[in-house]
């Protein structure tokens, strides 16, 4: 893209003189018949050119033109580089500090011949890829001058100063700053490893480039970043040992503009409980002269021998009633529009609105044996009129794939009331004062693979005998389910 900043050149000739005949003072004569034919550069003055630093030459195209009243006159011309004296004079004229491009950064044809009837000749100036390697603190230009030893040149259109504006593509991380802590367990082998996922992005379309992005691995630099962050936050942080994580080199193939970056953190023997910090910063790009964004992603790691929250995905949670809104139970919110309710209306083609044994139930699966010793199920309610009053919890384990009733730590098989400290705010809402939350604790329940929370009664009545005739009056509601364990 050209950005024309036209400055009338005074270097090609400070003035154009017209001479008059002594015999006839009123008759104007043009030296070298310039009125009938004169040479010029179509693009002239200062031209700023976007130069993308992508290991590729750029062609700046313009023309050497021939104008005047007689197009049949043949002409010859040349294009040459400014001398250093001319460059200094130009800088002084416009108050700039431009530097001549090194000779290995450009290429162009210097000689041009115009046959009779030819009005223009192409002038293609190659700006070499080496421009991208120059010191960007300097303002480099390529100044050229159109000259002719025998013919007339337009003094206002004979200088072209090309200023490459170097634009280097940049790769950056999508997550910068402090992140949500990653939980890693010291004893549960299924929780001793966790993964943080972010992405790397190129700030322009990939036009067929292959390159690799390397993360910073120098421990001195990582220690410095941790110390710097500790000073900023007023809290001492420990650098995560290099043996406890893996940050891969990320490869971009042709056309790829974004790539996922998975960082695996794993407990190592000898690590003590507590909080660690891993600064993630990009170091360099291999294969292309691209830059990396200097922003740092700070990943906290909490190493513990206690409970860790296990977060199911939408595909891990199912129900036998009102499944379309079941995702609200794991969205992290408690409030208006953030709660789930079982069917309160008939559904065409649905024959059963409950289970005679489990009532209205919610299943959470794919726990992948993350729970081997202890488990906590946290239920949060929002609505008063659909509040659960009786429930049971079942589990599947590695050794027993059938739903099996499990007891809480206080030996309760049946949870009733479910929310013993719940307080009514209105006919429809609860006070969100802590009484709307119930923790159910379980110990030595085996290697759990799935959990079923069966709601048997609510303030609307029994939930094991719902039919199409009474579905509108028998329902249960819940705002959130959270599972912790190890």
Look at residue 97 and tell me whether its pLDDT is greater than 50. Answer: yes
Give every strand in the sheet of 170-173, ordered side by side. Answer: 245-246, 258-266, 193-202, 170-173, 291-292
Span 23-68, pLDDT tens digits: 333 333 344 444 567 899 999 999 999 999 999 999 999 999 987 6
Same domain, 280 and 408: no
Closest CA to 51 of 220, 216, 165, 131: 165
Q: Where are the alpha helices (DSSP H) in 54-125?
A: 84-94
Among the candidates 250, 284, 304, a domain finishes at 304
Clarify whether residues 449 and 462 are in a common domain: yes
Residue 387 is given by DSSP the state B
pLDDT of residue 82: 97
Are 66 and 155 in the same domain? Answer: yes
Q: What is the mean pLDDT of the chain?
A: 90
| pTM: predicted TM-score of the whole model, two decimal places | 0.74
pLDDT of 258-315, one tens digit each? 999 999 999 999 999 999 999 999 999 999 999 999 999 999 999 999 999 999 999 9
> What range defines the domain where residue 352 resides?
309-421+433-485
Q: Is there a domain that residue 73 lies in?
A: yes
For 406, half-sphere exposure in the C-beta direction (CA atoms, 13 angstrom radius) is: 27
Query: pLDDT, tens digit, for every residue of 118-149?
Result: 888 999 999 999 999 999 899 999 999 999 98
Q: What is the DSSP annotation of 207-274?
A: -S--EEEEEP--HHHHHHHHHHHHHHHTS--EEPPGGGEE-PPEEE-TT--EEEEEEEEE--TTPPSE
Number of folded domains that form the chain: 3
Say what the pLDDT of residue 301 is. 97
13 within a domain of the structure (yes/no) = no
Buried b (16+ CB within 10 A) or exposed e, 210-228: ebebebbeeeeebeebbee
Among the residue ranges 51-60, 230-239, 286-295, 363-372, the one predicted with the least confidence is: 363-372
Tell me, yes or no, whether 90 and 119 share the same domain. Answer: yes
Q: Report the range of poorest mean pLDDT among 17-21, 42-46, 320-324, 433-437.
A: 17-21
User: Do 186 and 327 belong to one domain?
Assistant: no
User: Is residue 454's pLDDT more than 80?
Assistant: yes
Task: Give the up-direction half-sphere exposure of residue 395: CA atoms within 13 A in the CB hemisphere.
Answer: 25
């Amino acid at each position: 893209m050209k950005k024309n900043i036209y400055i009338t050149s005074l270097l090609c000739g400070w003035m154009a003189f017209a001479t008059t005949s002594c015999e006839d003072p009123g008759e104007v004569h043009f030296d070298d018949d310039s009125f009938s034919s004169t040479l010029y550069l179509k693009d002239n003055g200062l031209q700023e050119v976007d130069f993308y630093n992508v290991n590729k030459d750029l062609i700046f195209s313009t023309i050497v033109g021939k104008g005047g009243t007689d197009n049949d006159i043949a002409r010859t011309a040349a294009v040459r580089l400014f001398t250093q004296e001319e460059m200094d004079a130009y800088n002084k004229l416009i108050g700039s500090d431009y530097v001549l491009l090194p000779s290995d950064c450009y290429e162009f044809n210097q000689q041009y011949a115009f046959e009779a009837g030819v009005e223009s000749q192409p002038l293609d100036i190659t700006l070499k890829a080496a421009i991208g390697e120059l010191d960007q603190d300097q303002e480099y230009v390529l100044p050229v001058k159109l000259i002719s030893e025998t013919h007339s040149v337009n003094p206002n259109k004979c200088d072209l100063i090309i200023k490459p504006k170097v634009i280097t593509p940049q790769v950056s991380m999508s997550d910068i700053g402090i992140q949500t802590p990653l939980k890693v367990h010291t004893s549960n082998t299924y929780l001793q490893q966790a993964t943080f996922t972010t992405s790397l992005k190129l700030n322009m379309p990939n036009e067929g480039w292959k390159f690799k992005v390397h993360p910073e691995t120098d421990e001195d630099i990582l220690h410095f970043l941790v110390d710097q962050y500790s000073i900023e936050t007023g809290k001492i942080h420990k650098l995560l040992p290099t043996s406890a994580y893996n940050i891969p080199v990320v490869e971009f193939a042709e056309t790829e503009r974004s790539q996922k970056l998975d960082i695996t953190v794993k407990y190592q023997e000898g690590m003590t409980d507590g909080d660690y910090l891993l600064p993630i910063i990009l170091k360099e790009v291999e294969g292309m002269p691209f830059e990396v964004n200097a922003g740092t992603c700070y990943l906290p790691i909490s190493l513990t021998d206690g409970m860790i929250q296990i977060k199911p995905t939408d595909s891990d949670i199912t129900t036998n009633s009102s499944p379309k809104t079941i995702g609200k139970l794991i969205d992290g919110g408690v409030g208006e529009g953030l709660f789930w309710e079982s069917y309160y209306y008939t559904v065409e083609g649905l024959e059963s609105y409950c289970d005679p044994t489990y009532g209205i139930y919610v299943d959470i699966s794919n726990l992948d044996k993350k729970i081997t010793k202890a488990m906590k199920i946290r239920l949060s309610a929002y609505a008063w009129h659909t509040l659960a009053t009786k429930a049971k919890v079942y589990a599947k384990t590695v050794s027993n794939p059938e739903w099996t009733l499990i007891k809480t730590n206080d030996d309760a098989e049946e949870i009733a009331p479910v929310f013993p400290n719940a307080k009514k705010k209105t006919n429809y809402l609860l006070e969100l004062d802590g009484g709307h939350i119930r923790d159910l604790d379980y110990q030595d329940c085996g290697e759990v693979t799935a959990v079923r929370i069966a709601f048997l009664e609510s303030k609307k009545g029994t939930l094991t005998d719902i039919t199409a005739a009474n579905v509108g009056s028998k329902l249960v509601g819940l705002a959130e389910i959270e599972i912790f364990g190890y």
